[in-house]
Amino acid sequence: MIPLILYDIPSKLDGTYWSDNITKSRFVLGYKGLPFQVEWVELPDIAPRMKEIGARPNKLADGEEMYTLPVLSDPNTGALVTDSWEIAEYLEKTYPEKPIFSNKSKGLIYAFGNAVISLILPAAKFPIFRASQILNERSAEYYITTRQVMFKVKISEFSPEGPTRDEHWAIIERAFNTYKEWYDEEVGKWLMGDVISYADIFIGSILSWLKRVLHDNEWEKIVNWHDGKWGKLLADVEKECKKV
């Protein structure tokens, strides 16, 4: 089998990867045991590089088009797939062994992912601010400029220490309290009990992103909630998905 190619954004961190959306694809590839190589693309180079290889842009909520990563190229089939959800669907359809949407759970997991994001999104400016600090210089400059336009505030106002940061922490903690309630509905370490699914990969990718972009003492705070549940879940997902 020819290795697949995953297009990812580098950072200054050890191991380089950081983005939650791209980690979702890495985990699915790892879980399914598919060989792959990574091509690192700095943020300002995504659009020209994706145009060059013929990848399609993503559609944003407002209908605008934007080139985003992850993009996956599969030289075994000629497929070139944009967007982490479509990549998961493509890999499941093309390589059905070791399913990530068992028991026809794709629709439910799609809804689950949206629910997960909607709870944490109001605090996103905090991890986004931290992400701006771990990117390589060109990407950081691009990221800060584009996110300032997106949120219509200066990066220094994204999550200043004090009441704004405290509110972000309160939102994140409430989100994880709710995720915990959902996990508690089943016996077993995964959302679906004893079978790992894309739902766990989704949460695992968010945990991985938080662990990577936040400061160590900030990640420790999350690890200390719910008797260490989130650190353990991330370690379990990484183990199943052969941390790459």
Ligand X SMILES: N[C@@H](CCC(=O)N[C@@H](CS)C(=O)NCC(=O)O)C(=O)O
Q: What does the binding site for ligand X look like in residue numbers (CB under 6 A)?
A: 9, 19, 21, 43, 46, 58, 66, 68-70, 83-85, 146
CB of 144 to ligand X, least distance (A): 11
Q: DSSP for 155-212?
A: GGGSS-TTHHHHHHHHHHHHHHHHHHHHHHTSSSSBTTBSS--HHHHHHHHHHHHHHH
Pairwise CA distance, residues 9 & 189, whole Å:
30
Pairwise CA distance, residues 167 & 159, whole Å:
9
CB of 150 to ligand X, least distance (A): 9
Comparison of 83 and 89: residue with beta carbon closer to ligand X: 83
Pairwise CA distance, residues 64 & 148, whole Å:
18
Comparison of 213 and 237: residue with beta carbon closer to ligand X: 213
Comparison of 86 and 238: residue with beta carbon closer to ligand X: 86
Comparison of 81 and 191: residue with beta carbon closer to ligand X: 81
Comparison of 66 and 115: residue with beta carbon closer to ligand X: 66
- CA distances in angstroms from 211 to 36, 122, 131, 239, listed in the order given: 24, 19, 11, 16
Angle between the N-to-C axes of helices 20-31 and 198-213, in degrees from 0 to 180, rounded to the nearest 10: 130
CB of 118 to ligand X, least distance (A): 14
CB of 198 to ligand X, least distance (A): 12
Comparison of 59 and 242: residue with beta carbon closer to ligand X: 59
Q: Is the CB of residue 20 less than 8 Å from the CB of residue 70?
A: no
Q: What's the order of all strands across the beta sheet hosting 4-8? A: 36-40, 4-8, 71-74, 79-82
CB of 106 to ligand X, least distance (A): 15
CB of 162 to ligand X, least distance (A): 27
User: 79 φ, ψ to 5°?
Assistant: -75, 145
Pairwise CA distance, residues 18 & 75, whole Å:
25
Comparison of 1 and 61: residue with beta carbon closer to ligand X: 61
CB of 83 to ligand X, least distance (A): 4
